[in-house]
Amino acid sequence: MLDEMANELENNDVHLDPKRVGRILEAVESGDGQRLEDVLDGLHPADIADFLEQIDESGREAFFSLWSGDAAGDVLSELDEGLREEVIGFLDPARLHAAVRDLDTDDVVDLVEDLEGVQKEAILGALEDVDRFAVEKALTYPEDTAGRLMQRHVVTAPEDWSVGQMIDFLRDNEDLPDQFYHVTLVDPRMAPVGNVTLGRMLSARRSALLRDLTEETFIPIEATETDENVAYAFNQYHLISTPVVDEGGRLVGVITIDDAMIVLSDEHEEDLLRLAGVGEGSMSDNVLDTVRVRLPWLAVNLGTAILASIVISQFADVLASVVALAVLMPIVASMGGNAGTQALTVAVRALATRDLTSSNMMRVVRREVLVGLVNGVAFAIVMGVIGWLWFGSAVIGAVLGVAMIVNLLVAGLAGILIPVVLERLKFDPALASGTFVTTVTDVIGFFAFLGLATYVLL
Amino acid sequence: MLDEMANELENNDVHLDPKRVGRILEAVESGDGQRLEDVLDGLHPADIADFLEQIDESGREAFFSLWSGDAAGDVLSELDEGLREEVIGFLDPARLHAAVRDLDTDDVVDLVEDLEGVQKEAILGALEDVDRFAVEKALTYPEDTAGRLMQRHVVTAPEDWSVGQMIDFLRDNEDLPDQFYHVTLVDPRMAPVGNVTLGRMLSARRSALLRDLTEETFIPIEATETDENVAYAFNQYHLISTPVVDEGGRLVGVITIDDAMIVLSDEHEEDLLRLAGVGEGSMSDNVLDTVRVRLPWLAVNLGTAILASIVISQFADVLASVVALAVLMPIVASMGGNAGTQALTVAVRALATRDLTSSNMMRVVRREVLVGLVNGVAFAIVMGVIGWLWFGSAVIGAVLGVAMIVNLLVAGLAGILIPVVLERLKFDPALASGTFVTTVTDVIGFFAFLGLATYVLL
């Protein structure tokens, strides 16, 4: 895919492809600063960050000892959080100082919130007083809230201004944010009352009043709102930027879509990784970090696997006398686990996008049960016949078929109910659902199959 | 979560919560159009669409026979694709006509591309000639490309215009897009040469030249580029809008971030569902649609489960004589499957975000093998001891431990290599990786455990 992208964007030459990575690495090895500057030419800071994530620590150190480009601040803020502390260590104080001063305050907040001690102080110390105040203020809001995401620099206007007044004001203002898409109208108490898009303002007469041009969808967000709800609102209502207010309803900042998009992307990643039993994980983690993240989840799985084994051990007699059961029993468990994971994943996704609510819960539960029943009967027939032919015993085939129906029914039910219950209990449904669902389908699968076999065959 | 959101946004009252859903349903049942209008007041079309997705078909029919609101077009375009055809059927021709005329052409494209025959004609027929031409032109581009996503209406300016000229032009122009964030500079051949943000333009003097205000990051996209690459570019380079060009490099449209965000969200959903063995699926699918999507994946899983059973059946002798093996063997398979899924999910995600490339491939493969080894040794010790204590046989414990190491090593390797190979072969790595990986870990797990046991115990 990268190759295609590379070819298609070739004339722009603003992207990172394996060839470019190779050329940068060669330049770093050559120790020639000018050559490095040349191969980096036109590369976006996000791509330089990606490059740094794809090489190892010694490579990053060599890169920063050679590179004197002025995008260090942007590269830092694009970089994977796990690597920032390391890279900050490679920058001398003057360089760090310059890098940090170039950033918007919301990017500085994002940078310092994971740092501690000396590094945090170094970054805060590099800021001008007004920016430092803004960053420290943002850090007083809890992590993962709108207050941490917002930029304090907002373009506002009194409610009664005209388009002409606003355009003149903007033109005379030396200190505007890098990117802004709206003018936010505020009342005398500084409470936001409406957003006017710049496009709409530009197409209006100078004499038009801003309050007659406000957008229909206007959703101020409280600074203590979770960033997940912020991302939801941006996605649901197609917002580009929206004001942030304190508990008194007064304007304290603005969140723009690029920040919301990052949150949304992170939420997706979290759901995906948690469903797979990985809390977090990136390509730049080392072996020990990776083990530390994955081992606990495997340990939980070991516990549930042992539970399933204990169920099996209750049926040692029938297993010893009919070895076909040992051969066939993983099929029942595997089918149940897969069907459960299907129902579960659809449910977790729907909870995240708020498509599964108390309004349609019962209908969805009913659907999952019916789906489990239909799939169960279908595979019961197939496996009944296979079991019969394979081991020449219609009874084994019948036991296998009945166990399949029971387990796929249970899988559908567990797949929908477990995430819903976790959500109600205020847990992240993605976090533990997978383990619970496969535990249920393993235990029920083995129990139904071997229990029925014992009853019929012994 | 919805409840919190409800409370926090209460004074805006622009959202959907279960209470609101209840009130809307009551209004629909009462048959009172004015009452329905009242409870819908202030609700965003996206929320009305969500409401429709949460109720059943007869509810939707009742809703549309009563509702006469003018947001039908926006509701349609926010609606789950699977429901659009049904809902279009509930609108009489005049209503559909009005609804479609309100939409931007990119939304109309999104609407008609899944429709056929009479419905498609009805919608195209409702458009004004110029819009109809734009939509038909967009439909000539392949599905899932930039050409389908773009809006044809672009705000452009000659390269040599000043800010003052542009502002006057915009003010005199009656027909501007609803939302635009940039003025795109074009050369005499209509090739885009730069983007000026409206904010930057507004803060400049009237005499300033637009070409001196262009943004540093400027990435025109070819109309035949995949929408996946479009979403990647928006996310990576924090774009708000970007011009679309034909093969000759001439401007043909513009893509804005709201469209890119929808593509990104869809891609995430696709990855998540495909990894879980569900091609697609939404809360509004009925039982038969759901079975149709899930059954084929379960059938594939059945095939691989039977393969694992065939492996087991080769060791019938040792299973018949040592029943402890039947009890313990699912543990080896389950741990391998889980470890493989962990490695796999991280790899699939990294391929999607392009964090896993040929530049860091070898390092990541090495890491996965080492992680597998470390986890394998840790769980080998634990399970070795448990196996020994449980069945009073150090030999069984040792066999279990060795099989665990082998299977976790294989899991790590399969988890990274299978998605990478699928990607190289131009398949979606999320699509079949899960099945392949668990097949490998099941087969290797059972084979290593039972094979070793046969060698040692028989």
**Contact: A261, B235; criterion CB under 8 Å:** yes
A302 interaction partners in chain B (CB closer than 8 Å): 331, 335, 379, 382-383
A363 interaction partners in chain B (CB closer than 8 Å): 56
- What is residue A11's predicted lDDT score, i.e. its pLDDT? 36
A312 interaction partners in chain B (CB closer than 8 Å): 326-327, 330
Task: Per-residue pLDDT tens, chain A, 458 aa: give them.
Answer: 444 444 444 434 457 888 889 999 999 999 999 999 999 988 999 999 999 998 988 999 999 999 988 888 999 999 988 889 899 989 888 888 888 888 888 889 988 888 888 888 888 888 888 889 989 999 999 999 999 999 988 999 999 999 999 999 998 888 888 889 999 999 999 999 999 999 999 889 999 999 999 999 999 999 999 999 999 999 999 999 999 999 999 999 999 998 899 898 888 888 888 888 887 777 778 888 899 989 999 999 999 999 999 999 999 999 999 999 999 999 999 999 999 999 999 999 899 888 898 888 999 999 999 999 999 999 999 999 999 999 999 999 999 999 999 999 999 999 999 999 999 998 888 877 888 899 999 999 999 999 999 999 88
Nearest by CB to residue A309, choosing from B8, B170, B330, is: B330
Nearest by CB to residue A229, choosing from B5, B204, B226, is: B5
Nearest by CB to residue B203, choosing from A170, A334, A356, is: A170
* Interface size between A and B, measured as CB pairs under 8 A: 361
Give how far B437 is from chain A: nearest CA, Å: 13
B252 within 8 A of B152, measured Cβ to Cβ: yes
Architecture of domain A287-457 in CATH?
Orthogonal Bundle (1.10)
- What is residue B6's predicted lDDT score, i.e. its pLDDT? 41
* SS3 category, A345: helix
Low-confidence ranges of chain B (pLDDT < 70): 1-14
- What is residue B308's predicted lDDT score, i.e. its pLDDT? 95
Concatenating the DSSP letter of every residue in A150-215 gives -BS---EEETT-BHHHHHHHHHH-S---SS--EEEEE-TTS-EEEEEEHHHHHTS-TTSBGGGS--
* CATH classification for the domain delimited by B2-143, as one of 2.40.430.10, 1.10.375.10, 3.40.50.1220, 1.25.60.10: 1.25.60.10
Give how far B92 is from chain A: nearest CA, Å: 27
Architecture of domain A156-275 in CATH?
Roll (3.10)
B89 within 8 A of B117, measured Cβ to Cβ: no
- What is residue B14's predicted lDDT score, i.e. its pLDDT? 54
**Contact: B277, A302; criterion CB under 8 Å:** no
List C-alpha distances in Å: A455 to A83, A315, A317, A398, A450.
59, 11, 12, 13, 9
A220 interaction partners in chain B (CB closer than 8 Å): 12
- What is residue B7's predicted lDDT score, i.e. its pLDDT? 43
**Contact: A170, B281; criterion CB under 8 Å:** no
Give how far B118 is from chain A: nearest CA, Å: 30
**Contact: B46, A236; criterion CB under 8 Å:** yes
List C-alpha distances in Å: B365 to A82, A256, B406.
20, 38, 16
B442 interaction partners in chain A (CB closer than 8 Å): 330, 334
- What is residue A14's predicted lDDT score, i.e. its pLDDT? 54
Residue A186: beta bridge partners? Answer: A158, A192
**Contact: B342, A276; criterion CB under 8 Å:** yes
- What is residue B15's predicted lDDT score, i.e. its pLDDT? 73
Same CATH topology for B2-143 and B156-275: the answer is no
Give how far B109 is from chain A: nearest CA, Å: 18
Give how far B44 is from chain A: nearest CA, Å: 7
Instruction: Categorise residue A162: left if φ over 0, alpha if ψ from -120 to 50, beta otherwise.
Output: beta
**Contact: B323, A319; criterion CB under 8 Å:** yes
- Structural domain spans, chain A: 2-143, 156-275, 287-457
Q: What is the 3-state secondary structure (H, E, C) of chain B?
A: CHHHHHHHCCCCCCCCCHHHHHHHHHHHHHCCHHHHHHHHCCCCHHHHHHHHHHCCHHHHHHHHHHCCCCCHHHHHHHCCHHHHHHHHHHCCHHHHHHHHHCCCHHHHHHHHCCCCHHHHHHHHHHCCHHHHHHHHHHHCCCCCEHHHHCECCCCEEECCCEHHHHHHHHHHCCCCCCCCCEEEEECCCCCEEEEEEHHHHHCCCCCCEHHHCCCCCCCCEECCCEHHHHHHHHHHHCCCEEEEECCCCCEEEEEEHHHHHHHHHHHHHHHHHHHCCCCCCCCCCCHHHHHHHHHHHHHHHHHHHHHHHHHHHCCHHHHHHCHHHHHHHHHHHHHHHHHHHHHHHHHHHHHHCCCCCCCCHHHHHHHHHHHHHHHHHHHHHHHHHHHHHHHCCHHHHHHHHHHHHHHHHHHHHHHHHHHHHHHHCCCCHHHHHHHHHHHHHHHHHHHHHHHHHHHHHC
**Contact: B21, A297; criterion CB under 8 Å:** no
B304 interaction partners in chain A (CB closer than 8 Å): 334
**Contact: A181, B199; criterion CB under 8 Å:** yes
